[in-house]
Amino acid sequence: MVRPNSSSSLKAVLGPTNTGKTHLAIERMCAHSSGAIGFPLRLLAREVYEKVCAIKGAANVALITGEERIEPAGARYLLCTVEAMPISADLSFIAVDEAQLCADRERGHVFTDRLLHARGRDETMLLGSATLEPMVRSLLPEAEIITRPRFSTLSHSGARKLSRVPPRSALVAFSAEQVYAVAEMLRRFRGGAAVVMGALSPETRNKQVALYQSGEVDYLVATDAIGMGLNLDIDHVAFAGLSKFDGQRQRRLTSAEMAQIAGRAGRHQRDGTFGTLAGSGSHDAEFTADEVYGIEEHRFAPLTRLFWREPEPDCTSLTSLIADLSRPPERQELTLAPEAIDLAVLKRLAEEPDVAATVRGAAAVARFWQVCCLPDFRHYGAENHARFVARLWQDLAKGMLGSDYVARSIAELDNPSGDIDTLQMRIAAIRSWSYVAQRPDWVLAREEMAARARAAEARLSDALHARLTERFVNRRTSVLMKKLGRDAGLLPVTLEGDEVQVDGEAIGHLAGFRFRVDPQARLADRKLLLAAAERHLPELRAKRADMLLAVMTSGEAALRLDGTRLCWDGEVIAQLGEGRSRLVPRLQLDKALGGLGGDQKQAVEAGLASWLSEAFAALAPLVRVEAASADPAAGSELRALLIRLVDAGGIMPRDTSGIDRLAPEQRRLLTRIGVKVGALDLFVPDLLRPAALSAWRSLQAARGTDCPAPVPAMPPVVALAGNASVPPGYRRLGKQALRIDMAEKLLRGAHEARAAASGKAFTIDPARAISTGLTTASYAWLLRLGGFRALVPPALAAGRFGPPRPLLWRWQPARRSPPVEIGPALPGRPGNVFAELLR
C-alpha cells in the first residue's frame, strides 16, 4: 500500500448504525482528487458506486468486486469490496467500512490487513462499531478517534403476533425455510412481502427492496443480510428468532449482532422500534433485559482480539505457503484466524499427489493459491469446493481456461426455468464463473466471458425476482376446471361453515378437508349434485384452508395433538413422523390436503409447523439439554449422559446414568442447564408437567416408540392396578407410584433429619409422606430405594408382637451412617408398620 505523506491523517469513525458514517466517507472521498472505499458487500459497493457516479460522473468512477468490474480508463474513485481493494494504488483517500468485521471468523483477517496497512496518501478513514475502539487505540495509537451518535432513538417494543406487526416492518429470520414461511403468511393476510436473503444476487435483492420501498408491499422478510448495506424506510424490526447457525454450531446472536440488525429500524432522525415475533416456538426468542439495555443504549462488550493471517505468504513451495498461512501473529492484540475455506481447499489439494505434482516453482505456487482463494459461492463446503478448484487448476496449470469450456459452463446454467431454490443455486454457480471471468490471466476472451456471465446472472435474477413476486406478492388465479356436464356446471356450489351446499341444497360437509356425503340428500338429485360438488371441491378445500390459516393467525384454531395425529375440529389433517432430530418431528399433511395449490399447501404446512412449535414449547428445557449435548466443551462423559437423558425424555434413573463419573465442573454445568440430580433420578423439573409429557409422548410415537399416557394434573401419588405401566414422571413403589420430584423431597427430608441428629439415633415422622396419599408400605419401599436399611427390634424378630403399641422403626443407610428410626404407625391404621411391610 502507498506510504502516506507526513501530513496524512488517520481517523477511526466509530458508532452504532444510522450515524451517517458511510455518508461522511463518501463526502470526504469526493473532496479529494482520488480515493477508494472498501465495503463488506458487493451490494453496498454497487449502491455507493451509483451515488458517486451521480456526483463525479461515470467516467471517473470504478466498481471493483470479485464478480464484477467496471473500470473506465480515467477512473479516480474506486468503490470496492474489501477483498478486491487495489493494494498498490496511489490514492489520496482510503476508507474501510464495517471495520469491526476484523473479528469475523471467515473474513476477519482480510479486514485486519486493511486496517493495519490500507492507507491513503492524504487521508485514511476506518468506519465501524464502537466495540473496535480499544483495538484501534492499541494497534493504531496515532489514529484520531471520532465517535458518532445515532441520529434517532431505538426502543424495544416487546413481542407481537404476526397479525399485529405494524406496516413498514422488517421481519428477520435465520433460515430460508423460516423466511419462506413468514413471507407466505404475510402474503395471505397482509397482501405480500418482499424477500431479502444473502443467497440472492444483488440484482434480485435490489428489485425486492424496490418492491418494499415503492410501497407495493408494507413488509420485508429478510435474513441477517439486512444488517449491512440496506438503508431502508423501516419503522420496526421483528426477530423471528435470536439464534442462528454460524457455520459451526447453532448459537444465540451476540448483542452487537442484534443491534446491527435492529438498527435498521428508524432512519436519520425518525425513531425506530424492535422486538420479537410472539409464538415462534423458540425457547430463546425473547430479548433479555441486558440485551435490551445494550441495544437501546448502544453499549456492548469491546473486541479483545482481531483475526489475522499472513497477507503476503512465502510462495516458494506449497509447504512454506501452508506454514506461513498457519503462522500465529506476533502481536497479542491479534490471533490466528480460523481455517477459512481457501486454506482448507489448499491443504486438501496439496495432499493429492496428482495436483501437488503440477505446482512447482514460486510462480506456480502463487497462481495455485489464487485459484484456491476462489470464494465458495455455492456453499458446497471445503470437500466439494476443492473438486471444483482442482478442475479449474487442470487447465490453469497449463495456461488459460479455454473460452469454449467457460462459455459452455455458463450456458448450462443460463436457464431461467425452475423454482426459487433451483434459481438461487444457478445464480450462485454463475457468480463463481463471474469471478473466474474477471481474472485477466485466467480466461481467454475475458471481456466476452465476463459479459456472458453478467447477462446470464441478470436473466436468472429477473426470473428469481418473478418467482419471489409470484409466490409472496401476487395471488395466482385459479385455473377453471373442465365442466362435468352442462347442468352441473351451472349449479352454484358454496361452503357455509363446513356445510357444502349446491344451489342451497345441503349435500354434505367438509370434515377437516375430507368431504362426507349428507345421507339426507335427495336420491333423485344425488348423482348430479355430487358431480357438481366434486367439480368445486378444490375451490372449497382452498376456502377451508383459508379458514384454517385465518384462525391459526388469530390464535383461535381448535387444533389438537392426539398422539401423532394433528386434528382440527375432530378430523385428522396431519400426522407426525420421525424427523431429522430427536426433538423435531416431520410433519406429513393428510392426503386430503394434496389437492390444495402449491402455495396454499405450503402456507398450511408452515402454519401447522408454527402451531406445532408452540405445542412443543413445553419441551424447551429438553432442547437446552440437547444443545448442551452438542457442545464439545462439555466433555465426552457429560455429553454421553445428556444424549441418553434426551433420549429418555429428560428423566433417567441415577444408578444407570453415569453421574458418578462426572467431574465437579461437569456437575455444575448439569445444574446450570436445569437438570436436577436426585438420590434416585436425574430429571428436568420443568418436564414433569402434563403439557411437556404429552409433547414427549407424541415425539416418541412419531419415532415408533410406545409410551404410556401422562396422568392429568400430575398428582403426587397414583395407584397402580395389577401390572399396569408406571406413568411417565413417576417411580413405582409397590402398588403405588410416586412422582419423582416428590420422591426426592421425601428422601431429602429423611437425610435432613439424619444430619440434624449429629450421629445419634433419630426419628422420621411419616406424616408428610402419608399426607400425599402414600401408604407406610410404599414409604418404606421408597426409603429402602434411597439407601436406608431396617433394623428390626429383637422382640419383633422373635415374633413377640405383644399388645398394640407405637413402634419405632430403625433404619440404616446402605452407606456407613448412623442408625435411622421411623416413627410409629398412625393411630387407627390396621396392624402396624411392620405388619404392612410383611404383606
Q: Is 738 helix (H, G, I), strand (E, B) or coil?
A: strand
SS3 801: coil
Question: Which phi and psi (to 5°) does residue 238 adopt?
Answer: -115, 125
Q: Quick one: three-class SS letters along 198-211?
A: CCCCHHHHHHHHHH
Count of other CB atoms within 10 angstroms of residue 299:
14
The burial class, CB within 10 Å (0-12 / 13-18 / 19+), for 797 is exposed
Q: CA nearest 235: which of 321, 155, 349?
A: 155
Tens digit of each residue's pLDDT (9 = 90 or more) over 708-721: 888 888 899 999 88
Flag whether pLDDT at 543 surpasses 80: no
pLDDT digits (tens, 9 = 90+) for 109-143: 999 999 999 999 999 999 998 899 999 999 999 99
DSSP tag of 603: H
Average pLDDT over residues 307-328: 93
For residues 74-92, average pLDDT: 91
Quick one: 454 exposed, middle or buried, by C-beta within 10 A (0-12, 13-18, 19+)?
middle
Residue with cell 466517507: 25
Rg (CA), the chain: 35
* pTM (predicted TM-score): 0.56
**Residue 823 vs residue 187, higher pLDDT:** 187
Among the listed residues 816, 830, 808, 716, the one whose alpha carbon sits nearest the alpha carbon of residue 764: 808
pLDDT band at 532; cut points 50, 70, 90: low
- For the chain, give the mean pLDDT: 81
127: left (phi > 0), else alpha (psi -120 to 50), else beta? Answer: beta
SS (H, E, C) 772-807: CCCCHHHHHHHHHHCCEEEECCHHHHCCCCCCCCCC
Question: Is the predicted pLDDT of residue 822 greater than 50, yes or no?
Answer: no
C-alpha cell of residue 619: 419441551
The residues, any chain, with a CB within 8 Å of residue 720's CB and separated by 6 or more, are 726, 732, 735, 736, 737
Answer with the residue of higher pLDDT: 527 or 30.
30
Q: Please tell me whether residue 476 adopts helix, strand or coil conformation.
A: coil
pLDDT tens for 19-46 read 678 889 999 999 999 999 999 988 889 8
E strands along 23-76, which residues? Answer: 35-39, 61-64, 69-70
Of 153, 154, 134, nearest in space to 145 by CA: 134
Euclidean distance between the first and final Cα of the chain, in Å?
A: 92
Strand-pairing partners, residue 245, are: 250
Residue 407 has a pLDDT of 92
Q: What is the pLDDT of residue 518?
A: 66
Q: Which residues contact 10 (CB under 8 A, 6 or more apart)?
A: 4, 119, 124, 126, 140, 142, 143, 144
| Sheet with 93-96: strands ordered across | 69-70, 61-64, 77-81, 35-39, 93-96, 123-128, 9-14, 144-147
Helix, strand, coil percent content, the chain, rounded in steps of 5: 45, 20, 35
Which amino acid is residue 154, in one-letter code? L
Three cell numbers at 8? 496524512
| Side-chain-facing half-sphere of 396: CA atoms under 13 Å | 26
pLDDT in tens, 724-747: 888 999 999 888 999 999 999 988
Taking residues 386-409, what's their average pLDDT? 90
Q: Determine whether 471 is exposed, middle or buried from the number of CB atoms within 10 Å of its CB (0-12, 13-18, 19+).
A: buried
**Backbone dihedral region of 583: left (phi > 0), alpha (psi from -120 to 50 degrees) or beta?**
alpha
> What confidence tens digit (pLDDT) does each residue in 450-504 have?
899 989 988 998 898 888 888 887 332 222 222 333 444 445 666 666 676 665 6
Q: Which residues contact 704 (CB under 8 A, 6 or more apart)?
A: 578
The residues, ordered by sequence, that sit 6+ positions from 548 with a Cβ below 8 Å of its Cβ are 557, 568, 573, 604, 607
Question: By C-alpha distance, which of 830, 825, 834 is closest to 767?
Answer: 825
Average pLDDT score over residue span 697-706: 82
**Looking at residue 217, what is its pLDDT?**
85
How far, in Å, CA of 162 to CA of 260, rounded? Answer: 22
Q: Which three cell numbers stand for residue 642?
A: 445428556
Reported as type and span, the H/E element at residue 600 is: helix 598-615
CB 138 within 8 A of CB 333: yes
The rounded distance, in Å, linking the Cα atoms of 20 and 589 is: 50
Distance, CA of 548 to CA of 571 (rounded, Å): 13
Question: If you ran DSSP here, which 8-state letter would residue 503 be given?
Answer: T
SS3 of residue 26 by DSSP: helix
Q: Which residues contact 270 (CB under 8 A, 6 or more apart)?
A: 152, 235
CA dist., res. 592 & res. 496, Å (int): 19
Average of pLDDT values for 622-650?
A: 88
* CA 259 – CA 244 distance, rounded (Å): 15
State yes or no: pLDDT of 76 exceeds 80.
Answer: yes
Q: Of 164-168, 393-397, 557-561, which gets the smallest average pLDDT?
A: 557-561
Instruction: Say whether pLDDT at 305 is over 90.
Output: yes
Q: What letter would DSSP give residue 431?
A: H
Cell 458446497 sits on residue: 380
Say how far apart CA 12 and CA 101 lie, in whole Å: 14
Is the pLDDT reported for residue 412 higher than 50? Answer: yes
Q: Report d(CA 593, CA 566) in Å as an integer.
A: 13
- 3-class DSSP assignment, residue 795: helix
